[in-house]
Amino acid sequence: MRWIDRIPMLWLAGIAVYLAGAPFVPEPHLVEKWRMLLDGTLGKPIDVFDFFLHTTPLVVLFIRLWREAQRRRQAKD
pLDDT in tens, 16-53: 999 888 888 888 888 888 899 999 999 999 989 988 99
Average pLDDT of the residues of the chain: 90
Domain boundaries, the chain: 2-76
Count the Cβ atoms, other than its own, within 10 Å of residue 15.
Answer: 16
The pLDDT assigned to 21 comes to: 86
Q: Which of 21, 2, 25, 7 has its CA nearest to residue 61?
A: 7
Per-residue pLDDT for 54 more than 80? yes
Average pLDDT over residues 51-70: 93
What pTM value is reported for the model? 0.81
